[in-house]
Structures are given as structure tokens and as C-alpha cells.
Amino acid sequence: MLVKTHVRVLVIGGGVVGVSTLYHLTKKGWRDVALIERTELTAGSTWHAAGLLPLFNMSYTVGQLHKYSVDLYKRLPGETGQDVSFHVTGNLRLATCRERMDEYYKYCGTANTIGVPFEVITPQRVKELWPLLELGGNADTPAIVGALYHPDDGHIAPADLTMALRKGARSAGAEIYEHTEAVGIERTASGEWRVRTGKGAEITAEHLVLATGNYARQTGQLLGLNVPAIPVEHQYIVYDASPELKAYRQRGGRELAVLRESDKSYYLREERMGWILGPYERGAPARFADGVPEWFGRSLFPGDLDRLVPHVEAATRRVPALEHCGIKDIVNGPISYTPDGTPLIGPAWGVPNVWLNEGHSFGITAAGGAGWQLAEWIVEGEPGIDMLAVDPRRFGPYTSKRYVVKKNEETYRSVFTVHFPDEERPDARPAKTSPVYDKLSARGAVWGQRYGWERANWFAPPGVARRDTWSFRRSNYFEHVGSEARLMRERVGVIDLTPFTKHEVTGPGAEAWLDRLVANKVPAKVGRMALSHALTVRGGIRSEFTITKIAEQHYYVVSAGAAERYDGDYLLKSLPADGSVGLRNITNARGCFVLAGPRSRDVLAQLTDTPLDNTAFPWLTAQVIEAGLAVDVYALRVNFVGALGWELHFPVEYAHHLFDALFEAGAPHGIGMVGMRAMESLRLEKSYRMWGSDITPDYTPFEASLDRFVRIKKGPFIGRAALERQQAAGVPNRFVTLEVHEVTDADPLGNEPLFDKGGRMIGRATSGYYGHCLQKSLAIGYARTELATPGTELSIEILGERKPATVLPESPYDPDNLQLRA
């Protein structure tokens, strides 16, 4: 029975994630909050979870959320009086090959930068910690070559954890209504949300949080949202008591660490003197793509032993004690997944004040951090840490049901595969392609996928196999990427950047509106452009836009391809209500070819009558031109590779013609295609920051040393007050470009810690690559301001090894931009 009919926030879903969100809202001082649950708290996936709390995660954001959870769960019993059965057993991840050790060392960089304690240990130490384990060394059971040990994590009782969070929330004033299902949601005239429950009662809320686990798609549909979260079957085996384990414990042995044999894709932990064994199997099917059937309720699926057998056999070889225990039970339940395996935490798109906390596959581990940051976001208007990696708007309209099913099944079976930085998973591809996809394939494209789009990572020359050997080190494509980079620097190359996000902003209010959104001055003259950053209220960088004035009251706004929904939603929700600004997403209406290199002017000149010399068409200007047969081509004299050149944004129907025309005109100049990896190398040589990795809400434009793109005196804009405060207080970090010395085969790739001469961690690299034209290994990132001056000697940890690094002046290649201005 509903007591309240109006609250500030209504959370829908009483699993661990919903209850944690409620708890954290009260911690932020919002007490007029409630939660509704269709049956009973924990009735969803929470009740049957194995309760593991792995701190290991390759993501900088998710790692921070998990760390917060583990810290919270330790203090929760003291705060609430409710025990949560947190067994801090430690967590041991075995490695049986060099690539796995590379993965662990790569992870250590992230762990260092977020302060997660860990140890990389030897096989001997593994045996000391886990005496019941065989170190192996034969064909069936490969030798352990090392392991990653987290002393601080372990396992917890998920229901007890939920009850502790419930207690904390309720004692601070939150209400919880069980047996109350949300069956309808509508917007009230005043802009609030009215939720109709199964019992006919209604409750109105300023904000809605959807935390409905396996029901995410159904709940989303109540609001017209296609939420890309579909569960996959996940099972674990519960074993009877183990005589060997009993004997070990009777001898005084401590509870064994949670064990993960990543190369055999399973976890193993103690449970009542027996074991729980959980594999991530191949062939586990997605379930409930069309919604959870009424009959499912608290039920489980029947166990599928065939899928489990290879993992049981591998585990038994590694831990022979398993052989002497009977199987007591198989738990096979739905586990929510998203196409990249990372949850959806943050604003829903297109609807105001609706928040998602859905798609959790490690929800027991993530619940604390997810509730913490979502509450921060709701109450403060933005999160306290960079949440781009979990923002629900990182996915777009391309997440059809079949796409999500395929990707989620792939992600599930890949949980324990080595997470190579250049990995490109094959399922559900190709989905979105540029019109010239086949032409690029014919030129040897080796494809990757981002935001559903196929993008050519590199081009295999004739006779070279068109495949990647994924690695943490320089790999098979290294020299070919180098050739592409040199082509761009020495002659002329084309990059297909059709996936760019493109918006058209028009109307009498366009200029003033954009000007308030970004820190730079929006161009006032037709044909001018400005690199502009939309900031958060805290002054962090939320988006990067290239804003070009095409005509009076007409702006062309370009941002990262992966930011289509993220930026589009922000722009849409920020529009003035008076109708003075028109906003149109024209991403799919225009293609984009980057034509760049010293010969680019000679090539383009053959296709257009528009004068291209420096006086008629200077750097950082734009014109609407004809190119070959194509009309209405926006030619922007700007690019991300630091060369003379143009971005040609053309009506998409001209893609084939323009492509052929460019290659015909470019043939005498040696024109060729250039892929994403060469672009990465070229942009690092110019210290160009990439949105999403180098520029994020964690850093202000001053920290990013983008001061020249901030016009603090131009008038009010979002984030200005924070920038003024930072200016007065002093900028704590500064952007650095580093030359890394003594690199043999492992270049920095981002997320490596930086150290000063005394060995203190003083910053982090956010990107890195080999600069093929400079022939230097390069990293860019952030260091404490006093250590960011050129010439400073630092060191960087790459795959467990400290390498000396020198801070370089910005833009080590062509620092005066002579080529861009040529």
C-alpha cells in the first residue's frame, strides 16, 4: 500500500543496485525518496549471485566504482548494525601465458592510478597462498607463470548487503514499498513523472531511477526507451563439503582466496567447507530479449552440464580436491549484460530527469559505486568522477534487439579472454558502414568497430594478411601503420571519418545559445570555425565541438562519432524553450573524408574552382564548395593529423563519386588510404587531445592546457565560475607530452602511472603510441603542474617496467604549425 503520493526521487527496482541508489540519495541529504519493488527486495538476480567482489577491472571508471563499493561494504555493518558476511579472503588471478601477464601488468597501471592495492606474485607465492592448487606444467594443466593478487577483496552475502543498505536508507527517511510494480509511466503537465502501479495507486516524482535488472527492457519501454540490456544465462556449481579443504582448515589454514583461472574461464571460492565453481562458458544464451515472462519470478533455469564440463575438468585438474566432492546444486540465473559488458549508469536520453542504473553483470560489486555516483549526479547535476565509460548514452539507436543479443552473448563468453587494447570483437558486424565500405575493403581495410560503425584501423598492402595479431606490444600491423603515417606527412592520404557526429544549429538564437554552452567564442563571421569545449558546472570537459559558421544563423557542429547520443542528448536538453534555435542531427546525412598531406591542395584543386591558396582559403576557415560533381560540400581547413588539408563534409549521396574523384586526381601524387591507427600516431605527434580519453570531465581546459580555447571574459558560459575559482587557486595538473625512452616493443597506450624522480606517482598518461614520423615512443597525459615543464625528467610504468620519460614542448612534430598553414 503506497503511503506517499509524491516524492523527489522514485527508484524502481529493489535489487542491490536500486537499494544502494536509495541509500546514497539519503547520504546526499535527499530524504524525500522512495523505492518500489514488484515483489520482494532481492527477488531479482541479487538473491542468487555468488557474492564475489572482484576489484579487477580494466576500466579507469569502473575500477573506481568497484573500489568505492569494497570500501563501503567494509564499513556498512558498523554503520547500520547489519552484518553483510564480507569475507576478505583476497582474490587470486592466475596466469599461464605471457599475454595474460601483460594484461595484468596493464591493469596494474590503472590500479595504481586509482589506488587499488594489488601484488603481482610468483608461482611459489601462489602455492603458499593456495596450497590445494597444482602449479601444473603439462599439456592439460599449463604451468602457472605468475598471478595477480588483490588482498582486499573477497565475497559477501548479497541479500545481507541489500538489507544493510535498506536499513541505512530507511533510517534516514527513505520509504520502501514491496509488492508494488510500476506498470505505467507518464509525464505530468508540470514536467514530473507519474508512475502507475499494478495495484492502481499512483506516485509522482521529480526524478525516476530505473534499476530493474532483468526487466530493464520492459521498464524502458514504459518510457519509449530501447535499453540495450539483455540478460544472459550464468551458472555456477555448488559442491558438497571437501575433505581436503576441511583438513586444511582444521590445520589452521585461513579461508582461501577467491581463485580465478582466467585462461580456463572460471572462478572458484569456498562455500561452507565446499566450493562454488562459476565458469563463463561458450554458448550461454541470451534470455528475455522480449521481456521476462510472468512465470519466471524468482525461478532459475535448469542447469546445463554440457556447457560446464570443460571448465569442471580444468578446475579439477588445477584443484584435485574437487574430485572428491559431490555436486550439491547448479544455480543457473539470468545475469544482465550490455554489448560492452559495462553497466548503464546515468541519464536516460531524450527524457528529462530519468536515470538508468541498469545492465549490471557484476552488480553486487558495482552497486555501491553505482549508487554513489548516480546519487551525486542526481543531486549535484553531475557526477564526481568521469563516468563516460558507463554513461548510458555511449550506445546509440543502432542497438537493435539482434545486435544486443549477439554482442551480449559474445561479451559474456569473453569475460575471461585476454583484454588486448587492440582487440576488435567480431560478432554483430558489419552493422553500420560508410557508403565506401566496399571500396575501402578492396584497398585492404582491416576493420574495427566503434559505436556500431565499421572503421578501417589500417590497410594491409597487397600480399599482406588482412588480420590483426592482438597484443599489448607492437604487432603485425606496426610497419604498415608507419607507412600510412609517412604517406600523410610526405604526400597525401585520405581518412574516412564519416562516423563523425554532426549537428546543424540554426535560428536567431543559435549563436547566443551555443556561446553559453561552450568556453570558446563562437565564430561570428561566416566561414570561421572554433574548437570549443562544453564544460560541466565543475569546469571539467564534457564535450568537444568544432563549430563552423556556414551562413548567417546557421552553424555546423561536429563532435566525436561515439558521442552522437551523448552530445545530441545534451544539446537537445539544453535547447531554449522559446523556439529561437533549431537543432538537427545530420550525422547520417553527411559523409566526411579527410584529405591531408603536403599534396592535398594539388589534389583538391583539380576538383574545384574555389581558390585554395592561403589568402583565399586560410587555415581554420571553411567554405561551401563544389568538388567534382558534388555540391554543397563543407570544406573545413582543419584536421586531426597536423598536415595541410581539408575535411570534406559532403552530402552522403556523393560518397562514391567523391571518393573516386579524389583517388583519380590523387593518383599522380601517390594518394592512399590512412586508417585509425596511423591517425592515432599522427595526432600524438601533434599533442592533439582525444575526447573521451585525454579530455574528460575529470580535467578542466586549464589542466588540459587548452587555455587558448577559453574566453573567460566573453560573458557567462557553463563552467566559467569553476574555471575562475581554479585560476585563483592555481591549476593543480597540467597536460604533458612525453617522449618515452628505452622502449623496445611496448609503447604506452594510456592509463599508465607517471612518477617523479623520487618515485612518487605524480600523474597519469591518458594516451600513448609510437610516433612513426618522429620515431619516438610518445605519451600524453597529466602531471602535477610543477612537473609539467618541458625538459622535466619523469618515468612511466609500462607493463610493469619503469621507463624514463622527458616532458616535451607541446606538439613535437611541427610545433609552429607551418605545415598546417602551408
Ligand X SMILES: Cc1cc2nc3c(=O)[nH]c(=O)nc-3n(C[C@H](O)[C@H](O)[C@H](O)COP(=O)(O)OP(=O)(O)OC[C@H]3O[C@@H](n4cnc5c(N)ncnc54)[C@H](O)[C@@H]3O)c2cc1C
Residues forming contacts to ligand X in the complex (CB under 6 A) are 12-18, 36-39, 43-46, 48-52, 181-182, 211-215, 219, 234, 236, 331, 333-336, 360-365
Least Å distance, CB 225 to ligand X, is: 13
Are 670 and 492 a contacting pair, CB within 8 Å?
yes
Give the three-class secondary structure for 645: strand
For ligand X, give the closer residue by CB, 93 or 234. 234
Least Å distance, CB 82 to ligand X, is: 17
Read off the C-alpha cell for 818: 607551418
For ligand X, give the closer residue by CB, 185 or 671. 185
For ligand X, give the closer residue by CB, 211 or 661. 211
Backbone angles phi, psi at 710, to 5 degrees: -115, 120
Least Å distance, CB 267 to ligand X, is: 8
Least Å distance, CB 156 to ligand X, is: 8
Q: What is the 3-state secondary structure (H, E, C) of 59-101?
A: CHHHHHHHHHHHHHHHHHHHHHCCCCCCECCCEEEEECCHHHH
- CA–CA distance, 589 with 189 (Å, rounded to integer): 35
For ligand X, give the closer residue by CB, 407 or 503. 407
- Non-local (6+) Cβ contacts of 760 within 8 A are none
- Non-local (6+) Cβ contacts of 667 within 8 A are none
Are 36 and 10 a contacting pair, CB within 8 Å?
yes
- CA–CA distance, 530 with 513 (Å, rounded to integer): 15
For ligand X, give the closer residue by CB, 49 or 607. 49
Least Å distance, CB 148 to ligand X, is: 18
For ligand X, give the closer residue by CB, 16 or 625. 16
Give the three-class secondary structure for 570: helix
For ligand X, give the closer residue by CB, 51 or 383. 51
Least Å distance, CB 190 to ligand X, is: 23
For ligand X, give the closer residue by CB, 330 or 774. 330
Least Å distance, CB 40 to ligand X, is: 7
Read off the C-alpha cell for 636: 573545413
Q: What DSSP state is assigned to residue 286?
A: B
- Cβ atoms within 10 Å of 233's Cβ, excluding its own: 22
Backbone angles phi, psi at 123, to 5 degrees: -55, -35
- CA–CA distance, 494 with 440 (Å, rounded to integer): 11
Are 675 and 445 a contacting pair, CB within 8 Å?
yes
Are 338 and 226 a contacting pair, CB within 8 Å?
no
- Quick one: CA dihedral 662, 663, 665, 671, positive or negative? positive
**Beta strand spans in 390-538 (E):** 445-450, 453-459, 493-496, 501-506, 529-535
For ligand X, give the closer residue by CB, 105 or 236. 236
For ligand X, give the closer residue by CB, 37 or 454. 37
The amino acid at 522? V
Least Å distance, CB 657 to ligand X, is: 50
For ligand X, give the closer residue by CB, 184 or 715. 184
Buried b / exposed e across 744-779, counting CB within 10 Å, b at 16+?
Answer: eebbbbbbbbbbbeeeeebbbbbbbbbbbbbebbbb
For ligand X, give the closer residue by CB, 45 or 532. 45
Q: Rg of the chain's alpha carbons, rounded to an integer?
A: 27
For ligand X, give the closer residue by CB, 34 or 385. 34
Least Å distance, CB 276 to ligand X, is: 9
Beta bridge partners of 448: 455
Least Å distance, CB 363 to ligand X, is: 2
| Beta pairing, strands 622-627 & 630-636 | antiparallel
- CA–CA distance, 609 with 577 (Å, rounded to integer): 42
Read off the C-alpha cell for 55: 576489484
Least Å distance, CB 54 to ligand X, is: 7
* Number of residues assigned to the chain: 822
Least Å distance, CB 180 to ligand X, is: 7
Backbone angles phi, psi at 520, to 5 degrees: -85, 165
Peptide bond into 430 cis (omega under 30): yes
For ligand X, give the closer residue by CB, 276 or 522. 276
- CA–CA distance, 357 with 347 (Å, rounded to integer): 9
Least Å distance, CB 222 to ligand X, is: 8
- CA–CA distance, 520 with 535 (Å, rounded to integer): 10
For ligand X, give the closer residue by CB, 351 or 464. 351
- CA–CA distance, 764 with 748 (Å, rounded to integer): 11
- CA–CA distance, 659 with 669 (Å, rounded to integer): 15
The amino acid at 692? G
Least Å distance, CB 329 to ligand X, is: 11
The amino acid at 499? P
- CA–CA distance, 753 with 375 (Å, rounded to integer): 29
Least Å distance, CB 64 to ligand X, is: 16
Least Å distance, CB 254 to ligand X, is: 20
For ligand X, give the closer residue by CB, 161 or 385. 161
Q: DSSP states of 686-719 as a string?
A: TTPPPBTTTB-TTS-TTTTT-GGG--TTSS--TT
Give the three-class secondary structure for 386: coil
Least Å distance, CB 212 to ligand X, is: 4
For ligand X, give the closer residue by CB, 43 or 652. 43
